[in-house]
Amino acid sequence: MIPELGQLSLALAFCLCGFVAFFGLAGAALRRQRWLDALGTMVTGQFVFILLAYAALSQAFLSDDFSVAYVANNSNSLLPWYYKMSAVWGAHEGSFLLWTLIMAGWTLAVALRGEHLPAAFAGRVLGVMGLLNMGFLAFLLWTSNPFERLVPMTPGEGADLNPLLQDFGLIVHPPMLYMGYVGFSVAFAFAIAALLTGRLDTAWARWSRPWSNVAWAFLTLGIALGSWWAYYELGWGGWWFWDPVENASFMPWLAGTALVHSLAVTEKRGTFKSWTLLLAITTFSLSLLGAFIVRSGVLTSVHAFAVDPTRGLFILGFLVLTVGGSLALYAARATVIRSPARYTLWSRETALLVNNILLVISMALVLLGTLYPLAYEAFTGGDKISVGVPYFNAGFVPLMLALAVALGIAPVLQWKRTSAARLWRDLRWPLAISVAAGLVLPLLISGALAWQVVAALTFGVWVLVSHLWDLLFRARRGLGRVTLGYWGMLVAHLGFAVALFGISLTSVLSVEMDQRMSPGDRGTLGGMGVLFEGVGNRSGPNFVAQRGTFRVEDGDEVIFLYPEKRRYLARDSVMTEAAIDAGFFRDIYISLGEPLENGDWAVRLQLKPFVRWIWLGGLLMAFGGVLAVSDARYRRLRRSVPAGTTVADAA
Amino acid sequence: MNPKRRNRLLIVLFLVAGSGATLALVLVALNDNLNLFYPPDQVVGGEAPVNTPMRAGGMVLDGSVARADDGLGVTFVLTDYQGSEFTVAYSGILPDLFREGQGILVQGKLDADGLFQAREVLAKHDETYMPPELADIARGGGP
């Protein structure tokens, strides 16, 4: 009964989305104030009904209702309750239900916090978002119903959740990622509304900027969590694979990063306007493209869901409609929007332009590498290729280093123009320090000068020092005058530098050894002694495991590590559970391969210096994004803006 | 030329040169890193080039997996169940989902003796998912 109620709720939510779309867009066009006034209620209703559907599915999981096909395929009575809760988004149907729930949540947030927006403008924004969620719900109801029953052939036991997903990482990674993906629909809706009205001023940028920042922070967090999860749960110590599905989340992130910066120029200087709109459209389109890649199964990926052509076709159709429609609107209306451009070569505008160009090129690079196999197959009539990881690294690394160079100059630059004398005055010390650090630090860390490490450390320190230098200057004039917006920028940029350190040092200095070891064997790992003591048995709630014992001697310190080889009973699947000794400066990472003859084991021993810094950098970036949103000027504007006026530049 | 125009020209030149160089580098990098996929019948039939990085795939033949007595060397046979099969040599740890009868992708080079020297062995991530490359073979036909 409850699953049917869930499905009914989804159908009702679908209808309500239709109402939101109609009354929002038509109400704004025909100036019917009463239609617009009713939007808040409809948006709330939409959210409540999807939440009910979501609760119904969760209830089916918690009560082991295996008559629901989705539950039977992704749960098991032995599964701990918290994994039953997170199993709701463990596969295609449920994860898309979560997607629509988050979409409804963002719509509700816009309705609640948007009271300062002119009613007609808010109506258009909500209307566009209603239209989008209508599409998502249609997809759910017609191609991926999570409430489908297995009656009368109800199985007595569920097939269990994929063991890889029985993990804390899965509990937090998808919701964060979807918050980001779907959050960019707000920026998209703002862009469409601006194109419909032909009105785009600094007030518009100030309205849409916090939304984009928050979505971006969530996406950053989601990607960092996903990378961390892959690192410890896949069992082999890789943290980024340039897999199509990772790229699917990374492309909107790159475009979104460009958007966040371009919005800053539009807000502060009233320029880059049509470019900002195009980026808003692009970012959300890439989110949809990501959904298409993940859910259609057209590309070889470790993450992809099981293949179903109708789903792929549906999303492709939706993608074409959304992207095509919005770009057509953009082509027709973008000329209405004028940007007065008055800035010189050495100005913050130029720096942000360079930032945007580099990020968009990086995005295009990833896009090309991701979709090339598809295009190749289509044009050659079925020949299949894959694009190797070196392609991505070869293009991406120089672009990010160039970005770091520009980023180090950014804090010193002023709007409009900056004199060469001032640049030299403010940058000569950071420059000297970063060159010195780039030469000395690698020797301290690794005792050698690998050019990749020298380059990455020089550029990383360059970003770090030039930002701190600038902070020092500002602090002299009083720290109280430093705005939260500035702190946000600072923290996010330092996060970039920290991630740069982590990525380069881990990539170049990691030690990885695959070995055959018998119990009692000794090995060495980067100067540490490793003793393989043997393998014992252990059983968990829904698995049995072979558990190895390793004694690692790091100087005087002795660390015991217990990697496992688990066999999950319901699916009879084998999983590697690595043992990690995590540290701020290095991780020791040991995983059991497979048992060989005579009690020997294939073993992978790894030493990963500075690997934590990658995710620490991601966290800092996300935190910076949130800090910037907390800036006082966004709170002030909620009270003070009458419709149609432009806010004076407060910063 | 007035300074404003000169600046604008500089920016435009920078953009053109930068994007041109990037595009060239990207295309070279892409060309160097494309790996064509070959099913077993093309590997056996000599259509797959020798000593060129590529991907191949098939089902692991039952009873064909042989580990070396010491070290981590392993050989196994990939088949399409249509009479074409070839041997893969690999050194290292096999993925958890590597099993006899499973669809497997291998990345590496074919040597002159027809032995596939794999650098990487990729197995499916969960039981219901089939890499598109192998879907045709699993359905019982060539691509």
DSSP labels for A33-100?
Answer: HHHHHTHHHHHHHHHHHHHHHHHHHHHHHHTT-TTBHHHHHH--TTS-HHHHHHHTTSSHHHHHHHHH
Residue A640 has pLDDT above 60, yes or no: no
Sign, CA dihedral A498-A501-A507-A510, equals: negative
Of B7, B125, B130, the CB nearest to A302: B125
pLDDT tier, B125 (very low <50, low <70, confident <90, very high otherwise)? low
Averaged pLDDT for residues A153-178 = 86
Q: What is the mean pLDDT of chain B?
A: 82
Contacts of A162 in chain B (CB under 8 A): 126
Average pLDDT in the A482-487 region?
Answer: 89
CA distance A84 to A147: 16
Tell which wins on pLDDT, A105 or B46: A105
Amino acid at A604: R
Mean pLDDT of A287-295: 85
pLDDT of residue A637 exceeding 60, the answer is no
DSSP secondary structure, A121-173, as one string: HHHHHHHHHHHHHHHHHHHHHHH--TT-B--S---SS-----GGGSSHHHHHH
* Chain B residues within an 8 Å CB radius of A394: 25, 29, 33
Q: Where are the domains of chain A?
A: 1-161, 419-509+617-642, 511-609
Alpha carbon of A351: minimum distance to chain B alpha carbons (Å) = 11
Q: Which of A425, A385, A354, A401 is nearest to A504 (CA)?
A: A401
Averaged pLDDT for residues A454-462: 93
pTM of the model: 0.91
For residues A116 and A638, the answer to whether their CB atoms sit within 8 Å is yes
Pairwise CA distance, residues A383 & A388, whole Å: 16
Q: How many CA atoms are closer than 13 Å to the CA of A572, on its beta-carbon side?
A: 1
d(CA A257, CA A237): 27
Read off the tokens for B17: 């040169």
User: Pairing between strand B54-60 and A601-609?
Assistant: unpaired
- State what percent of residues in chain A have pLDDT above 70: 95
Q: Is residue A411 pLDDT above 50, yes or no?
A: yes
Percent of residues, chain B, with pLDDT higher than 70: 85
Can you give the three-state secondary structure of A193-254, one letter per residue?
HHHHHCCCCHHHHHHHHHHHHHHHHHHHHHHHHHHHHHHHHCCCCCCCCCCHHHHHHHHHHH
CB contact under 8 A, A514 and B92: yes
Question: Residues, chain A, total?
Answer: 651
Cβ-Cβ pairs closer than 8 A, A with B, add up to 117
Residue A238's pLDDT is: 87
- Two tokens at A533? 């003591």
A42/A644: higher pLDDT: A42
Instruction: Quote the CA–CA distance of A134 and A136 in Å, as a whole number.
Output: 5
The pLDDT of residue A326: 93
| pLDDT tens digits, one per residue of B34-86 | 888 888 888 888 888 888 889 898 889 999 999 888 888 999 999 988 888 99
Per-residue pLDDT for A589 more than 60?
yes
Averaged pLDDT for residues A486-508? 94
The C-alpha atoms of residue A506 and residue A381 are separated, in whole angstroms, by: 41
* 3-class SS of residue A28: helix
Asked, as a colleague might, if the bond just before A411 is cis with ω within 30 of 0, I would say no
Quick: pLDDT tens for A385-402: 888 888 998 888 889 999
> What is the pLDDT at residue A571?
78
pLDDT band at A645 (very low <50, low <70, confident <90, very high): very low
Q: Mark B52-89 as b/e (b = at least 16 C-beta within 10 Å).
A: ebbbbbbbbbeeebebeeeebebbbbbbbeeebbbebb
* Segment B75-101 mean pLDDT: 89
pLDDT at A651: 32
Q: Return the percent helix, strand and coil in chain B, to nearest 5.
A: 30, 30, 40
Mean pLDDT, to the nearest integer, of A233-242?
85
Q: Please give the structure tokens belonging to residue A191.
A: 């862009």
Higher pLDDT, A28 or A415: A28
**Rounded to a whole number, what is the distance in Å from the CA of B69 to chain A's nearest CA?**
8
CA distance A571 to A237: 24
In this prediction, residue A198 has a pLDDT band, given cuts at 50, 70 and 90, of confident
- What pLDDT sits at residue A650? 32
Residue A286: the pLDDT is 95
Q: What is the mean pLDDT of residues A99-104?
A: 96
Q: What is the pLDDT of residue A649?
A: 33
What number is the average pLDDT over the span A437-454? Answer: 85
Cβ contacts of B91-94, under 8 Å, gap ≥ 24: B91/A514, B92/A514, B92/A602, B92/B121, B93/A236, B93/A514, B93/A593, B93/A594, B93/A602, B93/A604, B94/A593, B94/A594, B94/B121, B94/B123
pLDDT (average), residues A177-192: 95
- Predicted confidence at residue A644, as pLDDT, reads 39
Interval A265-283 mean pLDDT = 89
Question: Is the per-residue pLDDT at B142 higher than 50?
Answer: no
- CA distance linking residue A358 with residue A406, whole number of Å: 10
B30 in Cβ contact with A369 (< 8 Å): yes
pLDDT at A132: 96
Do the beta carbons of residue A569 and residue A161 sit within 8 Å? no
| Amino acid making up residue B92 | G
B116: nearest Cα among B41, B62, B65, B53: B53
Residues of B with CB under 8 A from a CB of A: 4, 7, 10-11, 15, 18-19, 22, 25-26, 29-30, 32-37, 53, 55, 67, 69-72, 91-94, 96-97, 105, 107, 125-133, 135, 143
Is A148 in contact with A21 (CB distance < 8 Å)? no
Q: Which two tokens stand for residue A595?
A: 């048992």
* Alpha-carbon torsion (A393, A396, A402, A406), positive or negative: negative
Contact A560, A551 (CB under 8 A): yes
In terms of Cβ atoms closer than 10 Å to its own Cβ (0-12, 13-18, 19+), residue B138 is: middle
In chain A, pLDDT over 90 holds for what percent of residues? 55
B107 interaction partners in chain A (CB closer than 8 Å): 386
- Structure ipTM: 0.80
Check whether A382 has a pLDDT greater than 80. Answer: no
- In angstroms, the separation between the Cα of residue A255 and the nearest Cα of chain B is 17
Q: What is the pLDDT, as a whole number, of residue A648?
A: 34
Between A531 and A424, where is the model more confident?
Answer: A531
- Going by C-beta distance under 8 Å and a sequence separation of 6 or more, which residues neighbour residue B118? B88, B89, B90, B106, B107, B108
Pick A395's closest partner by Cβ from B29, B107, B143: B29
What whole-number distance in Å separates Cα of residue A52 and Cα of residue A97? 11
Backbone angles phi, psi at B43, to 5 degrees: -65, -45
